[in-house]
Amino acid sequence: MNLLSEIQDIPRYVQIRERLREQISKHVLKPGQKLPSENELAKHYHVSRMTVRRAIACLVDEGLLYRQHGTGTFVAQLRIERDYTRLLSSYEQILRMGLEPGMQILSLEVRPATSKVAQYLALQEGDSVIRFERLRLADGQPVSILCSYVPQKLCPQLLREDLASCQSLFQLLESYGFRLKRAVQKTEIRWADQVQARLLEVKEQAPLIYAERVTFADDGTPVDYVEGWSRADVFSFTVVLSR
Amino acid sequence: MNLLSEIQDIPRYVQIRERLREQISKHVLKPGQKLPSENELAKHYHVSRMTVRRAIACLVDEGLLYRQHGTGTFVAQLRIERDYTRLLSSYEQILRMGLEPGMQILSLEVRPATSKVAQYLALQEGDSVIRFERLRLADGQPVSILCSYVPQKLCPQLLREDLASCQSLFQLLESYGFRLKRAVQKTEIRWADQVQARLLEVKEQAPLIYAERVTFADDGTPVDYVEGWSRADVFSFTVVLSR
DNA sequence: GACGCATACATGTATAGACATCTCTATTAT
DNA sequence: ATAATAGAGATGTCTATACATGTATGCGTC
């Protein structure tokens, strides 16, 4: 009889969800195995069936479990996935690759928004945006040129912050209380111009991975537009797609 | 007073969800606007509050709505196209670009799985897999070389099907009853070898977008492993990321 | 006018139960 | 032996209710 902790103020469905997740990750529940029925789980945890269903529903959404109507709930076969569609800052990306992130600021200024930037950030053309351009390093080697645009009205004092000591624009934005939720990113191949080639230490016309991304807070407000040019020999890009 | 259709056997929460979705897409509910409270919606549709919450929860997951505890539920600012993380076949991708898909079969055979393929498809090395290699065309121009591997035991009669007339492997697999659910795709840059350069009509050593993808059915069984080499001047790649 | 507090109302969590629908199995009838 | 049927047990939908918790508002006090 597993008792849920009554002391801490964590919802029961969250506690059950995390217990199930742990059992799956530790192979107590093996891939393909049938879970106890919802009624059995409800009895076991001393909660109602609806609470169990809620816990299970989360894990089904994540792809850890699947249901078969009339038959039962089962552990899915593979789980390497989840983290792949996680929205990461370039800082976090490099950390994940096991390298030491570094940064070199190229420029930092307030500018009127061009029409393209205004459109992405839902501003009027000419509204002030903070333009922050830097070279991202991994283990001391240049890997990406990044250029971010943030509406100035969202964080008027951003310039005064020490952007050099703060390793990630995301950290800064989140510390301002923006709950970054999702982003749309478009990736394609472009060829290095002279300046980019020099900064990234590649040949002119070498292929680069070009990505542009708009990041949205949870209320759908665009917070950030980033363009990035990255060395094609360093980056790969893994995502999870759903049909 | 909107009545839900009692005749059709569609769950009420689905009906309410789709009505709300329609009102959002038609701007009856405008971005930023507050929805009626859950209790009001429940009265309006003559259902319980839990049923309304379920409908709303779906749309929150999709990013169309967001909630503020104690305040209300609101329409999000932008409708980021959900379609960006949709798992599409190459056929569907080209259709979406507004081009006419074509295909030229390069080879079709049953082979023992290499260790790499076996690992991706959760097979034993040497198990039979169907290897299907083709050139994908868009408006008659070659754009991708694709090479799919499917465990033979999943569809023993695949070879007899007329793969030439069926424009998409996905269609075929779904017609066999596989509920394709999600895929993990890794994308990077590689350089064209002699054969690839000739087929894709680019120079040798030209950069190509290399993608490998494992597709899973809803029970987590891997159904399909694809490698693709695509012309970098044709493809871009848009995804939605969440934090 | 500024502050604090009570209140109304919003969403968040949880319950116990009812009935529907789907699947599989065991029993019964042919 | 085979086919039809009944039943058990699983998930799917839905209700009505209770209480917890967060937020804005308006009122009274200072």
**Does residue B229 lie in a domain region?**
yes
Contact flag B220-A77 (C-beta cutoff 8 Å) = yes
Q: Which residue of A has its CA nearest to B58?
A: A61
| Partners of residue A143 in chain B, C-beta under 8 Å | none
**Does residue A116 lie in a domain region?**
yes
**Does residue A38 lie in a domain region?**
yes
Chain pair A-B, CB pairs under 8 angstroms = 157
Tokens of A136: 């991202």
Indicate the residue among A23, A52, A75 that finishes a domain: A75
Q: Which of residues 66-125 of B touch strand D (CB under 7 A)?
A: 68-71
Q: Are residues B55 and B137 in the same domain?
A: no
Please compute, for residue A109, the number of CA atoms within 13 A of its CA located in the half-sphere on the CB side. Answer: 5
**Does residue A34 lie in a domain region?**
yes
Which residue of B77, B85, B220 is in closest CB contact with A219? B77
Cβ of A71 near strand D (under 7 Å)? The reply is yes
* Cross-strand bridge partners of residue A67: A73
Element holding B65 (H helix, E strand): strand B65-68
Instruction: Flag whether pLDDT at B18 surpasses 60.
Output: yes
Give residue B213's pLDDT: 87
Cβ of B73 near strand C (under 7 Å)? The reply is yes
Q: Are B45 and B16 in contact (CB under 8 A)?
A: yes
Determine the 3-state secondary structure of B38 from DSSP: helix
**Does residue B7 lie in a domain region?**
no
Contact flag A63-B219 (C-beta cutoff 8 Å) = no
Which residue of B78, B84, B184 is in closest CB contact with A216? B78
Indicate the residue among B27, B60, B75 that finishes a domain: B75
Instruction: Output B172 or A58, whichever has higher pLDDT.
Output: A58
Q: Are residues A99 and A202 in the same domain?
A: yes
Instruction: Output B45 or A68, whichever has higher pLDDT.
Output: B45
User: pLDDT tens, B95-138?
Assistant: 877 888 889 989 888 899 998 888 888 788 888 898 999 999 98
Give residue B202's pLDDT: 92
Question: In sequence order, which ranges of chain A are alpha helices (DSSP H)?
Answer: 12-25, 38-45, 49-62, 90-96, 115-120, 169-175, 194-200
Q: Are residues B59 and B27 in the same domain?
A: yes
Q: How many domains does chain B have?
A: 2
Determine the 3-state secondary structure of A17 from DSSP: helix
Instruction: Output B61 or A56, whichever has higher pLDDT.
Output: A56
Domain that includes residue A155, residue range: 80-238
Number of H helices and E strands in chain B, helices first, is 7, 9
Rounded CA separation B79/B77 (Å): 7
Q: Are residues A211 and A127 in the same domain?
A: yes
Q: Are residues B59 and B87 in the same domain?
A: no
Q: Are residues A70 and A93 in the same domain?
A: no
Interhelix angle B49-62/B12-25, rounded to 10 degrees, is 50
Tokens of B46: 């003559």
Q: Are residues A41 and A134 in the same domain?
A: no
Q: Are residues B198 and B87 in the same domain?
A: yes
Which chain C positions come under 7 Å from a protein C-beta?
Answer: 9-18, 21-24
Q: Are residues A169 and A99 in the same domain?
A: yes
Cβ of B48 near strand C (under 7 Å)? The reply is no
Our CA-based measurement puts residue A110 at a distance from the nearest CA of chain B, in whole angstroms, of 25
B58 to each of A118, A221, B15, how far by Cα in Å? 31, 20, 12
Rounded CA separation B65/B45 (Å): 19
Q: In Å, what is the separation between the CA of B201 and the C1' of C21?
A: 56
Q: Are residues A104 and A118 in the same domain?
A: yes
Q: What is the phi/psi pair of residue A197, to 5°?
A: -60, -40
Indicate the residue among B24, B42, B75 that finishes a domain: B75
State the CATH number of the domain containing residue B37. 1.10.10.10
Rounded CA separation B152/B79 (Å): 41
Query: Per CA to C1' distance, which residue is closest to D15?
Result: B48
**Does residue A150 lie in a domain region?**
yes
State the CATH number of the domain containing residue B222. 3.40.1410.10
Q: pTM of this prediction?
A: 0.71
Low pLDDT (below 70) residues in chain A: 1-8, 78-86, 156-165, 175-177, 237-243
**Does residue A7 lie in a domain region?**
no
Q: Are residues A218 and A106 in the same domain?
A: yes
Our CA-based measurement puts residue B45 at a distance from the nearest CA of chain A, in whole angstroms, of 22
Cβ of B5 near strand D (under 7 Å)? The reply is no
Element holding B194 (H helix, E strand): helix B194-200
**Does residue B198 lie in a domain region?**
yes
β strands within A64-115, DSSP E? 65-68, 72-75, 101-112
Instruction: Flag whether pLDDT at B62 surpasses 70.
Output: yes
Q: Are residues A129 and A209 in the same domain?
A: yes
